[in-house]
Amino acid sequence: CESNPLMPFSSPQICSSDTLSDDVEVTLPISNFADDLSLRIQMASNFDHGIDCASHNADWSLCYSQLFVFEYAGNEAYTDNNFAIYFSSIHRLLHVDHPDFEHGHVVGDLTYIKPTASFKGFEPSSEIILPVVFEYWSVQESDKMPRFFVVDSRDDSTAVIPNTDTEDLHDFVIPYTSSMKTEGDNNVPMTAENRYTRNEKLSEGFETDTSTRIIPTPFRVDISETAQSFGIVGVSLINADLLGKLQSGAEELVSTITMKTASDRDHVLILTIGTLPNDIAGTESYTMEITAEGTTITASHEEGLFYGVMSFLGLLDTSSSRSTMPVKEMTIYDKPRFDYRGHQIDSARNFRTKESVMQTIDAMALYKLNNLHFGLSNDEGWRLEIPGMEELTTVGSRRCFDLSEETCILTQLGSGPDASDEPQFYSVADFVEILKYAAARNVKVAPEFNMPGHARAAVVSMEARAKKKRDNSYRLMDPEDETELLTVQFYDRSSIINPCLDSSVRFVVKLVDEVVKMYAEAQLGLDVWQFGGDEAKNILLGAGYSAYDLPKELPFSKSPACIKKMQEDPTISIDTDAANYWALKVNQILAQKGIREMMAWEDGLNGMMKEEFEIAEVTVNFWSTLFWGGTDVLVEASKTGFGVIMANPDYLYFDFPYEVHPEERGYYWGTRENSVAKVFSFAPENLPQNAETSVDRDGNAMDITTPDWPAPVIKGMQGQTWSETVRTEAQHQEMTYPRVLAVAERAWHRGSWELDWTPTQNYHGTTNHVPKDQLATDFKGFNTVLGCREVRKIWQRLGIAYRVPPPGAMIEGGILIANTELPCTRIQYSLDRGMNWSEYFTPVDVGVGKYVSLKSLSADGGLESRVVNVDQEECLSCQGVCESNPLMPFSSPQVCVAGSTLQFPPPVPSKQPTSPPLASVTNTVSDSNEINSLFKNPVGNEFFCGDTFSSVAETCLVSKPCPNGLSGVCTDDNRQNQGCFKVSQCAAEYEAAGATSTEAYNTQQGRCRICGEEQVHSENTVFFEGEEFLCREFDGVFNEGGKGADSPSCTLARELYTDTCCIKSDGSNSAPAPSPTIFDGGEYPTLWIMNTSGAVTKCSLTVALACAMMTSFFLMWF
């Protein structure tokens, strides 16, 4: 028995023996199969798809269709059906419309597709297209999670499909072409053109002097008419010991922001403790008098002194190219709007490193956010080491493919089959370090351990402990419970802690004890506990599923432990209000441990009152959307006696897109966009007012009447960066910044344009109660400081890679005009599909019909936006109508129609499509200029390779070398995959061939096509201009009947390709058959194209080749 040296290390053994049976099947590792697979996902339709969604038990009969295209590149057929393809899907997979495949759901978003008994395998170099149906709708490409993986059902070995092992979703997701989720969706998708118009409105009147504005805006600023500006090199703190526990944090931030040594700190900040004016008196308040001789900061508490220092740092332009930083004389009187100014990090769904958390704390301190809501547990992960319950991190922090879940919890959210090599949790030492770091920057950390719902990582970890150690001390699931349910994110009963078990109570006691010890080690008290409490329910009880025969069971309704407890105490209704029951249990434990405040998500305490709780203070995070009756819910919350923190999804969720565009990341159940401007314009103390300045999630105006009730008291507000679609640190930073600075602005400062809560006042998109001119002026000042000073600061000093918004642009008469949402952001444009970029300063003449790409950059060029493209007005060398192909991505090339000639710019080079495209047709081509025109060669370069032009062959061919130099580049089939040619030589070959009407020139493949008696250099379909027939490669059958077989074109095709047939252009015979193929006549006859299923599609010739090329373009896009 020997290992095959040509196989991977993980290969099975291959035995050689005279007695080895001939019929022993040798199975190769699943990785071999996976390596030969690739996947493309193509969005089909959210509606008007003709699918009976109700027949698939879709919520509210809503579903959408997509195509999963699996390409197999193996040289031999793969007929083994002992595999399944697993993937994460945030929407339930309802149906696979293919007889050879079935689907299943494991838990959460983990879903699989596997072959049925009828599966015959993958033929060599083939593809299988699976039409699939999912619940609801999909308008963001980030709905599709990466890392699809193949599992061998015999041994559960796994391998990721290579092109899905990526964070560039376009590696396997074909760009979406529509952002409409329903027919009633009135959201306006962003294009370069309408973004330009929006930016123009936002930027009109941008402030140019940012020297006196701070983010967040102070309560009052006095600037004398005789105030002078002066320059400073650095800052030194006098009486820094008055900062107490905040001294180290303040000094470190001063050093980080100014980047100066002690000897360079020429400007002094003199700190004093004193009495403040009555109108600003408070713990975090301060005054600051800035003069050229020095700055004096006065406060009654160390917190006020700290924020005075942060405000001075906020005035500094650290990106100045001058040797000094400009400051102006002024006096500031400042106090916070809310005592609670927060930010939430979801480290449970996808882990954020200790360094990332500290980076966030630095930013929070700079912009006066004082509460970190730290999400440490959820269904998808447990992130804090708890001594004595090690399984929480040895199992609960790891995600992998282990169906027993004894070594990890099952993979979710596109994390793939293998657990990370790096620890995905905070050790006790890590957490203590974070607590100390935050405390030194006046940031309180409230740990969230979500329960009873969203607790699967904890539940599974304790199940693993029970199995391995036979220890049920902290077990969280009743092993005899047979309740069937489905949670919001598609988990079963293992997602909810059973509140009836004594072991569940012991778990919480142990957890609280250990966390209290960590705070004590950091020399802090644990003042606040975030309970979570949300979404502990069975969604199948919802009205959208009422017509279906699905499990409609209440949580724990079949748990013997809960049945017994309810029998013992009839006043308990655990099955209907598990969260409420568990909230009181946890509250009792917290009160016993001396914890002052309990926080929870609003729905976790529905129907409860403050008087029911033993703890001193109870606060809810309010997360009802405005358009779903949020104002009424807020009023009810205010009646409970709970404190209220505004955490509104439709304004304050940073896992939502910045704008309406499929390439933007995030969920969108609450809104389609949360732009910086929208977050800035949020009025937290007058929720109805926001109906006048924003739209609902479908892009429609809202109509909100203020309830006839006193204004709810708002304790504070916070932004949330949930992380379901946020897998990397770079994605986390891009989604959080700069939006979090707008939250800091609103939490600290009330805008002059914010109106008081006025009972019975109505707000609508057409009302004019809000002084929008004041709002616009305020935002322009904020946005100028944000773009010209603050984002540079967080990038260059804190290393936070903020989101650079894509530019807006238009082309008018060949003149490119562009703008940006964020001032002081650079813009570049390209006329050759991103190969070369030019700086944009003022409107520039790019010429008519050019394909223009644009991007924005940070001031130093270190960060870039995504690339956007401007629609062309006309096409080069095209006299006819120019249209965008609606079936192509926003960045698609234009399709020009002029007479019977279609011209396409060269595509991005990619894998050769398995279904060859039609060749485009030209008339006589006799010189290199004409070929240059066809290929959109803008400057007449001599050499071309793939999508690259050059005047020097070596430059052109550096990445795609053609063998044997350039000799015969147009006629040597060995070079056709490289797509290299010399344009003048192509012209010469055309002339030598006589340049007849039976020539075809294929710009898709980047090489010459000469269709004559000598040669046809194409394995692709060719349409011969002037002939009556369309010759098509199809299923190895040749149409021998009638005139079709005798046409010169088909005769030639038959001689060269035995698998070619002619199909009927009038569609009367929709499959290959011995009958003539006849166009229906006319100067612009109808063109019929047969697809691989034998169906025939009709389209007018004005878009005929556009239709024909559609499939090719989609394939070649990738």
Q: What tokens appear for 177 in the block?
A: 């072409």
Nearest to 622 by CA among 639, 641, 598, 638: 638
Partnered with residue 150 across adjacent β-strands are: 85, 159
Among candidate residues 104, 127, 131, 171, the one with its CA nearest the CA of residue 43: 131
Residue with tokens 């612009």: 1084
Look at strands 1060-1063 and 703-705 and give their pairing: unpaired
Residue 94, phi then psi, degrees to nearest 5: -100, -30
Q: Kindly report the backbone phi and psi dihedral angles of residue 354, in degrees, each rounded to the nearest multiple of 5, phi listed first.
A: -60, -45
Of 535, 663, 673, 1028, the active-site residue reads 535
Q: Which of 911, 914, 681 is nearest to 123 (CA)?
A: 914
**Closest-CA residue to 1055 (of 1042, 1043, 1065, 1045):** 1045
Q: With 0-12 CB in 10 A as exposed, 13-18 as middle and 19+ as buried, what is 341?
A: buried
* CA 1045 distance to own-chain centroid: 53
Token output for 1053: 């095709």
Assess contact for 681 and 674: CB atoms under 8 A. no
Beta strand 881-884 with 894-898: parallel, antiparallel or unpaired?
Answer: antiparallel
For 710, the enclosing helix (H) or strand (E) is none
Whether 839 is catalytic: no
Judge whether 839 and 776 are in contact, CB under 8 Å: no
Task: Considering only the C-alpha atoms of the chain, give the largest distance between any 2 of them, rounded to a whole number of Å.
Answer: 104
On whether the CB atoms of residues 309 and 269 are closer than 8 A, the answer is yes
As given in the structure block, the two tokens for residue 578 are 């598990």
User: 3-state SS of 242-288?
Assistant: HHHHHHHHHHHHHHHHHCCCHHHCCEEEEEEECCCCCCCCCCCCEEE
Residues 6+ apart with CB under 8 A from 341: 368, 369, 370, 371, 716, 717, 718, 743, 744, 747, 748
Handedness of CA 867, 868, 872, 875 (dihedral sign): positive
The whole-angstrom separation of Cα 663 and Cα 869 is 13
Q: How far is CA 538 from CA 51, 135, 633, 727, in A?
A: 26, 17, 21, 27
Q: Are 1029 and 1016 in contact (CB under 8 A)?
A: no
The two beta strands, 371-378 and 340-346, are: parallel
The residues annotated as belonging to the active site are 535
